[in-house]
């Protein structure tokens, strides 16, 4: 029986992972579940899955959950006490699925475990990728990407010689505004931006999908996961989210990885350790289905400056990724609070990215200090 810890258990990825685990009660034991403040979802999941340990980041939500949960469940009173526990009581599998780079400490601890890390938190690699991958390599930790695009590359790049490849494409659905110019979507509301056509995700990642910044983050993630140079990586729009990645070889041939738009396939592989026939019935892709369409479009030229920032991050292993991710966090929060327009997300990032001082980030303390400095820089303008 494998012990599993899930960081972000009330979100879309976490709940889907729990649905896989629920079907295999003899294979998995839930050790630590972590969430932020979604009390109602947490209570329901605790009732169903009966984990041993829970950490809730938000103090008020933690108090409410403790009051309404069975006495036998242990609640950690701080991140430090959770980290101390995990150092002495390692899980076999860690799923990192917390939005943004909150609780990056837990992802780093999992990277140092020597066990298996299922990574669904792209910002951790954007801001600290060199260090996380180094810790995985040093400890012998197996890392499996759970993003559908990176999981497809994980599968596609096996037994491939990177020197035979001329381009690696990550696909993007384009979100709710696919095919529309930046001018046309400049004044779109949060309600409109949150209506993703293919995926059911949290608010931040859904906005990131609408801006295509999520895909720019995924380029950076791919660079670290697969040691791919920035000049080989590109983005192409595939509205139906059926093609997840493509490899173009130097002879002009192309391989595409395809599946239905679901995270269950990578999650089941990561948890079970193999491509499971058990999920075939619900998630098998039939190319003869008359309702399936496949379209390809170029990355919109009027958002090229955001893609250029992603390339700049990939080419500079300093705090550039932290600057990019922090500016985006600030912009998305302002947009969701109706403080800025949708189009101003881009301008807030582009106007400030190159102005902020570049520094080396060698520890989580450095990262947090620099993150606060970036926030102060924006607030002081």
pLDDT digits (tens, 9 = 90+) for 223-269: 999 999 999 999 999 999 999 999 999 999 999 999 988 899 999 99
State residue 34's pLDDT score. 96
CATH class (in words) of the domain with range 2-146: alpha beta
Residues 6+ apart with CB under 8 A from 101: 121, 123, 124, 126, 127, 128, 325
CA trace torsion 231, 233, 239, 240 (10° rounding)? 160
- Locate CATH 3.40.50.720 in the chain: 2-146
* Strand pairing class (297-298; 233-237): antiparallel
pLDDT digits (tens, 9 = 90+) for 35-53: 998 999 999 999 999 999 9
- What is the reported pTM? 0.93
Distance CA 118, CA 4 (A): 10
Q: Is the confidence at residue 196, as pLDDT, over 80?
A: no
Q: Is the confidence at residue 127, as pLDDT, over 70?
A: yes
The angle formed by the CA atoms of residues 169, 277 and 205, to the nearest 5 degrees, is 40
pLDDT digits (tens, 9 = 90+) for 339-354: 999 999 999 999 999 9
Distance CA 118, CA 96 (A): 6
Residues 6+ apart with CB under 8 A from 147: 120, 122, 218, 221, 266
DSSP 3-state of 103: coil
Residues 6+ apart with CB under 8 A from 347: none
Q: Is the confidence at residue 200, as pLDDT, over 70?
A: no
């Amino acid at each position: 029986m494998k012990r599993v810890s899930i960081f972000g258990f009330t979100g879309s990825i976490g709940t889907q992972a729990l649905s896989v685990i629920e079907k295999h009660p003899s294979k998995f034991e839930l050790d630590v579940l972590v969430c932020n403040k979604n009390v109602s979802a947490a209570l329901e999941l605790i009732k169903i899955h009966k984990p041993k340990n829970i950490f809730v980041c938000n103090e008020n939500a933690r108090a409410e959950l403790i009051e309404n949960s069975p006495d036998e469940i242990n609640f950690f009173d701080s991140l430090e006490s959770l980290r101390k526990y995990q150092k002495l009581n390692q899980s076999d599998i860690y799923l990192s699925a917390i939005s943004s780079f909150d609780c990056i400490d837990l992802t780093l601890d999992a990277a140092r475990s020597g066990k298996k890390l299922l990574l669904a938190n792209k910002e951790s690699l954007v801001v600290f990728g060199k260090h996380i991958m180094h810790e995985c390599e040093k400890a012998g930790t197996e890392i499996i990407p759970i993003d559908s695009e990176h999981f497809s590359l994980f599968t596609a790049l096996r037994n491939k010689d990177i020197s035979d490849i001329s381009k690696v494409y990550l696909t993007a659905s384009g979100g709710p505004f696919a095919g529309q110019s930046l001018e046309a979507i400049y004044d779109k509301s949060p309600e409109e931006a949150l209506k993703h056509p293919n995926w059911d995700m949290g608010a931040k990642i859904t906005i990131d999908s609408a801006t295509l910044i999520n895909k720019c983050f995924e380029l950076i993630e791919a660079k670290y996961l697969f040691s791919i140079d920035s000049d080989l990586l590109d983005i192409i729009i595939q509205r139906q989210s059926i093609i997840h990645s493509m490899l173009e070889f130097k002879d002009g041939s192309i391989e595409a990885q395809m599946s239905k738009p679901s995270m269950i396939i990578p999650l089941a592989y990561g948890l079970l350790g193999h491509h499971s026939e058990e999920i075939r019935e619900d998630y098998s892709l039939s190319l003869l289905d008359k309702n399936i369409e496949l379209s390809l479009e170029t990355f919109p030229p009027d958002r090229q400056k955001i893609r250029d920032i992603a390339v700049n991050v990939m080419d500079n292993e300093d705090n550039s990724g932290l600057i990019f991710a922090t500016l985006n966090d600030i912009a998305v929060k302002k947009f969701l609070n109706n403080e800025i327009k949708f189009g101003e997300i881009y301008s807030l990032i582009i106007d400030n990215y190159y102005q902020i001082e570049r520094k080396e980030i060698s520890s989580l303390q450095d990262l947090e200090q620099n993150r606060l400095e970036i926030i102060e820089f924006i607030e002081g303008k």
